[in-house]
Amino acid sequence: MSHKIFQILNSLGLVAQNRVLHVQFSNASLNNQVFLQRIEGEHTLNQGSVAELLCLSTNAHIALKQFIGCQVAVDQVTDTGQFFRTTGIITEASQGQSDGSLTIYNLTLKDPTALWHKRRNSRVFMNKSVRDISEILFKEWQGKSPLFASSLTFDTAGLTKDYDVRPFVMQSNESDYDFLTRLWRSEGINWLIDESQLFVADPKASIQPQVLRLIDDNQNYQALERRSLRYQRSSATEQFDTITQVKAERRLQPTSVHVQRWQADALQQEEGSGSVQGTQKHSENYDNASLNLEDAWHVSPAWMQDPKGEDQATASGNSQIEQLNQHINAYHHLSSKQFTVSGNVRDAQVGYWFELNDHPELDQHDSVDKEFLILSKHYYNQNNLPKELQQQLERLLPKDKLKAAELDSQNPEQRHFAELNVVRRNIKAVPEYNPLEHRPAAHPQRARVVGLEGESIHVDQWGRIKVRFLFTRTDDHSHDGGAGSNDNDTDSAWVDVLTPWAGAGYGARFLPRVGEIVVIDFFDGDIDRPFVVGRIHEAECHPTQFDQKGQLPDTKKLSGIRSEEFDGKGFNQLRFDDTTGQISAQLQSSHAASQLNLGNLSHPKDKAESEGRGEGFELRTDQWGAVRAGSGLLVSTHKQDQAQGVHLDANEAKQQIEGGLNNAKALSEVAKNQQTDPLEVLENLKTFIEQIEEKDQDKAAAFKQALMILTAPNSIALASNEDIHLSADAQLSQTAGDSINLTTQKNLIAHAQNKISLFAAQEGARLYAGKGKVEIQAQGDGADLIARKAVQIISTEDKIEISASKEIVITAGGSQIKINGSGIFPVTGGKFEVKAGQHLFMGGGSANFSSSLPPPPKRGQGVLELLHDYSHGAFVKGAGYTVTDNLGKVVNGKLDDKGFARVSGLATGSVKVLFDPDPRNPWDEASDFKRKVEWPNQNDAEGSVGIASGNKGLTETLKNDFKKLSQLADNVKSVQQKIESVKKIKDQGAQALLPMAIEQVLGGSDGSKLSQSFVSQNSFMPSSQQSNPLRMLTQASSDKTAITKIQSPFETFV
């Protein structure tokens, strides 16, 4: 039964050697049951091949599954007697009409890439080129599908370029065919399905796998075996296959191409060479420029490789823009003119070229213009059945299947036909590539943040993260050590994170943490350009719990931000409570419960309403706190409703201080009139008030100095369970409209370096000791007790002793008693009356004087202020200094960023200041220290005192200087300078000595180095000097012959 079809054919004379079509199935059981009557197919470059096979069989019960997946070879007998082979895989089979003796089977033959359409997948590739990905997938298919492995081989010999290594490529819900072909399109790579054996010697030759060739250059296309084809009008007597019809087609295409994209590392739009005109001419009537048909593309942004180059990805740049521009231009050129040729050529193969001869028009061109590359082929061929069998077949076959008659109605006897779409070989063949169409649809999706083991946040310098896409499977990524499905930093390239604010070093930063679920979207809908748009609360990742309490919807009126400590339970939060009547805001760190609470304060809430704990603001912590304001600080409880005033409105404090100043001035004048000490603080208070005022009314109030003001309309309490310390380098002043009360449970001790002066204007002064003695001593001088009226010295229970080491004089009216070592001498102009119960006059004797006092106190310590700057006003920041006082004490330190330092603990008197070498280039103009010096300074009322006290030391310096002049006789310039200095001494006196003394100490010029010191004399200076401290300016020589800057010591006074 299985051989009956071939028995019938043989009996009708259609033996094997007379057939023009032969078919061979890899399923050997079908070879004796199925007869191929006709083949009709399409084969296209950058698509593949498909053919419909019309088969006959006398067996009406062949299971269709026997056809599916079967490899098939169809051999067509050519005009030269060769067998031209077409192979493939049966992907579809259907049973047609049957009349009881004959049954039709329709089979669909496709190349093996048809299998790629049947597998859809989602996966990622890191740091791979398109060529790498193609080889990985092909090898994977060969390992997983025996049918594929036996049906197709892979040939990349036609690739001539080095392809970019892409940091990230995603396959997203795509068939492997769509995925690979879109990659090939993007790189301008053509794919061609070819045969391992185009010609076989015997139709029974074993079926060989087809070849998938990747080609990027026209030079890699082969020529047909016959190499040339003849053009010939259709003729039944023609012995060889020919081209019978040539039709040229021209289509208007864009005349120029412009491609641009965003280049993130350059922070600009990248456009390569801009708009590039095509080289092909489209019209005889208009040139390309005047047609001005621009194909302008804005494509997805450039990829960004690892900042450290660890991914080894190709750096993105203009070359990729240029390549895409050329690709699109080449496709326009390819599409602008093509040819459709038809004839009866049976062995024409797509992806091969031939030379067309004997065409009347083409023969007028150069030979290169007669070479054509076959882009596609539509063909059919059929066996010539005996008439009876053909009629039987036509009754079973639908009329629409008989296309041979439609293709050549003028010659119904023609059994084979081929229509070729060709292009001149010198026109580059490229696949069509539409960046917006040849890609999968991209939609937002979830991903999990990943990173290095042990890291909670894994980012690069741009804040990009790595993620694992949730669709990835381990098996799909085994080719690369599981990269893509490892749950670590190998699972993706760096992915941008969207942030609400991104500036140059400023903006908002909330970096996703490892393990979090993020939402991914794609720039310009490009599946290979993912970025993070945000995060979602799901499952155990519940919504934000402020203060780690409460749940939604109970706390829905709370909003804000709460972070979480890495590997801990602490947090930071910014919380807004918009509950009606309970509105508040909080900035909190859980460490030490450090909080700034504003508004209607409340305890942390876990329900809609909260428990109040106060109103206003609270800044609190369980640990240490500090408040610093570099330009001034105002702490006030004076009311300012609705913040209508300026924030440094200290008018109330100013008025209070001014009132105290006026009262103090009046009382000080009274004290002055009573010949006691006036207050020294008055000018300081006046200056302080001036620092509060803002002269420019157009500006907000601002202190002129870094003041601190504490003011209240009612009382201010300062309390401590231990000590309270008040310290000032200058003066402490207290004024009160009423009383100043001092109480202590132990001792009240007051010390003054100079003096203590107390004055009571109205009601006297009292000093009581409830217990113990009252001692008043003048340890270095005398003591005066003066009263306008009576003076009483009373001992209510003991004696009164009056003693002196030399003499006691008691005078009243015109009488006097003088007591000294020589005796007792009463003197009076009146009577001398003595009343006593007994008068005893005995021999001479003497009394011992045993009272003693400690020696006077030594002078105290002073404060030295240093300021070091250049002549253009810039400060010498961080310069080192060494200060030696007149007792030999050495103090080292560094100036601050304003060239200033305060040195305390020095003995009063002269000091030596030594600055470290200046690091600047001595020849740099900016390092000049030269400055005009006035001595004494006009602001220093007592400057001459300082000079006078230093004359002795300067005179010695001058003597040494004269001695050195004799040693520098060979230096004429130096000698002249010294002479000029002597003249200045004669003319200006001691004022001219200072520069010479400095130069002497320096040993010569130091490159115009200037040092400036401010000296605060403290209590050892008269009051006039304390309010206007002595200022000393010193200057070295401006001689630029110095090789390097050396230290510049100078002397001043403390």
- Does position 101 have pLDDT exceeding 90, yes or no? no
Please list, residue by residue across 990-1028, b when 16 or more beta carbons sit within 10 angstroms of its beta carbon and e when fewer do.
bbbbbbbbbbbbbeebbbbbbbbbbbbbbebbeeebbbe
Question: Region 497-510: what's the mean pLDDT?
Answer: 94
Q: Whose structure tokens read 């012959």?
A: 1041
Phi then psi dihedrals of residue 207, to 5 deg = -80, 125
Q: SS3 for 46?
A: coil
Select from 1.50.10.10, 2.40.50.230, 2.60.120.10, 3.10.20.30 the CATH code of 445-535.
2.40.50.230
Pairing of strands 900-907, 861-867: antiparallel
Question: Region 844-868: what's the mean pLDDT?
Answer: 73
Q: Would you say the pTM of this structure is higher than 0.75?
A: no
- Does position 726 have pLDDT exceeding 80, yes or no? yes
Q: For residue 600, how far is the Cα from the chain centroid?
A: 37
Q: Using CB atoms within 10 A of its CB, is residue 303 exposed (0-12), middle (13-18) or buried (19+)?
A: buried
Q: Which amino acid is at 33?
A: Q
pLDDT of residue 600: 93
Q: Which residue in 435, 391, 200 sits closest to 299, CA to CA?
A: 435
Cβ atoms of 479 and 136 within 8 Å: the answer is yes
277 pLDDT band (50/70/90 cuts)? confident
Cβ atoms of 425 and 373 within 8 Å: the answer is yes
Higher per-residue confidence, 932 vs 670: 670
Q: Which amino acid is at 880?
A: G
Rounded to 10 degrees, the C-alpha dihedral 470/474/479/482 comes to 70
pLDDT digits (tens, 9 = 90+) for 574-614: 999 999 999 999 999 999 999 999 999 999 988 888 888 99
Domain with CATH 2.40.50.230 in the chain: 445-535
Cβ atoms of 623 and 697 within 8 Å: the answer is no
Pairing of strands 210-215, 190-195: antiparallel
Phi then psi dihedrals of residue 118, to 5 deg = -90, 0
Question: Region 986-1013: what's the mean pLDDT?
Answer: 47
Cβ atoms of 1004 and 1042 within 8 Å: the answer is yes
Q: Which residue in 1051, 1021, 986 sits closest to 753, CA to CA?
A: 1021
pLDDT digits (tens, 9 = 90+) for 191-202: 999 999 999 999
Pairing of strands 294-298, 256-263: parallel
Q: Which residue in 548, 573, 549 sits closest to 562, CA to CA?
A: 573
Q: Which residues contact 866 (CB under 8 A, 6 or more apart)?
A: 881, 883, 895, 900, 901, 902, 903, 913, 1011, 1012, 1013, 1014
- Does position 661 have pLDDT exceeding 90, yes or no? no
- Does position 938 have pLDDT exceeding 70, yes or no? no
Q: Which amino acid is at 648?
A: L
Q: Is 413 left (phi over 0), alpha (psi -120 to 50) or beta?
A: alpha
In angstroms, the CA 622 to CA 595 distance is 10
47 pLDDT band (50/70/90 cuts)? very high
> Looking at 323-332, 618-627, 1005-1014, which range is the least confident one?
1005-1014
Q: SS3 for 706?
A: coil
- Does position 402 have pLDDT exceeding 60, yes or no? no
pLDDT of residue 692: 79
Question: Region 338-362: what's the mean pLDDT?
Answer: 94
- Positive/negative CA dihedral, 536, 541, 542, 545: negative
Q: Which residues contact 195 (CB under 8 A, 6 or more apart)?
A: 85, 86, 87, 208, 210, 211, 349
pLDDT digits (tens, 9 = 90+) for 449-490: 999 999 999 999 999 999 999 999 999 999 999 999 999 999
- The percentage of the chain sitting over the pLDDT mark of 70, rounded to a whole number, equals 82
997 pLDDT band (50/70/90 cuts)? low
